[in-house]
Amino acid sequence: MKHKNSLKVAITGANGFVGKNVGKALAKKGISVVGIIRKGKGSSIIFGDVVTSEDLSEDYLTSKLYGCSALLHFIGKGKQTVDSDYQKVNVGITKNVIKLCKKAKIKKIIYISGLGVSKDTTFGYFISKFQAEQEIINSGLDYTIFRASYIIGKDDSLSNFLFKQMKKGKMMVPGSGRYRLQPIFVGDVAEVVFQSITQKKFSNKIIDLVGPKMVTFNDYIRDFLQGKKIPIKNINLENAYHAALNNPKTDFGIDDLNILIGDYVGNHKKLKSMSRIEFKTYKDVLETCCLS
């Protein structure tokens, strides 16, 4: 393995929540980071070099990425539209990324899939994630695939959504709220990604990226409120799905609902024993890491 100070890595989706946080953390460790972002989107990247690309198929990318030990593929979509569907983004861009790795002689790819994804998956978002996983597994590249629960930290999408509800003065819980999640801190995700770049034991594995505590959505919202007296309202699932199906701007999209209600939890013990990190609990994050 190369010494970390001679390491160079590329990140797709470098403008996204995970991309920005992981990029910053790796740069702090002395790794050279090339962030790949979309043209015309503007960059808030404060680490390394920035390269633009529309769909990762452009030839000019190859020379920019020579010398990278790994490509961290963090482009993904959890809501689809007619113009930008899961096949195009989650599967199509992953195929382009694999070709790019081969052209630029990058041997390792790290990908974030979804917790609960499996060959028996029945809904579109997870099917596209499974297909992207298969493309990577069959590519011949060294890979680490993480199946992630909710990744939390400053500006994560779940917290942003809950803050929005707090502002409106009512927390909406679809259905019973008894389904569980297993949030993981983005700083810990960055450390795990770093290890998977530098340690052989992460090679060719699919690993659940989950925090130390499982929590029901009801309890998570209660803890998120940190004692603030904001009413929590359980909304009827039929109404929640009706809104998701008929209003593309609704807070809970169809697949947001599917992921929540799917009650997906994973194997934290394996992640802990592989990485030996002292993971933050979601309560540590809510209490000390100032999400807002």
Ligand X SMILES: NC(=O)c1ccc[n+]([C@@H]2O[C@H](COP(=O)([O-])OP(=O)(O)OC[C@H]3O[C@@H](n4cnc5c(N)ncnc54)[C@H](OP(=O)(O)O)[C@@H]3O)[C@@H](O)[C@H]2O)c1
Cα angle 51, 22, 152 (rounded to 5 degrees) comes to 130
Quick one: which H or E segment has residue 274?
Answer: helix 268-275
Residue 150 interacting with ligand X (CB under 6 A): yes
Residue 114 interacting with ligand X (CB under 6 A): yes
Beta strand 180-181 with 215-216: parallel, antiparallel or unpaired? Answer: antiparallel
Residue from 25, 33, 97, 148 in contact with ligand X (CB under 6 A): 148
Count of positions (residues) in the chain? 292
Minimum distance, C-beta of residue 9 to ligand X, in the bound complex (Å): 15
**CA atoms of 180 and 218, how far apart (whole Å):** 9
**CA atoms of 210 and 213, how far apart (whole Å):** 8
Residue 124 interacting with ligand X (CB under 6 A): no
Residue 74 interacting with ligand X (CB under 6 A): yes
Minimum distance, C-beta of residue 2 to ligand X, in the bound complex (Å): 25
Kindly state the tokens that stand for 256: 């947001």
Task: Please list the alpha-helical segments (H only) found in 91-177.
Answer: 93-103, 124-137, 157-168
Residue 24 interacting with ligand X (CB under 6 A): no
Residue from 61, 68, 151, 265 in contact with ligand X (CB under 6 A): 151
**CA atoms of 196 and 173, how far apart (whole Å):** 36
The stretch near ligand X (CB under 6 A) out of 57-65, 149-157, 170-178, 231-239 is 149-157
Residue 17 interacting with ligand X (CB under 6 A): yes
Q: Which of residues 78-107 bind ligand X (CB under 6 A)?
A: 78, 84, 89, 93
Binding stretches for ligand X (CB under 6 A): 13, 15-19, 37-38, 41, 74-78, 84, 89, 93, 112, 114, 148, 150-151, 156
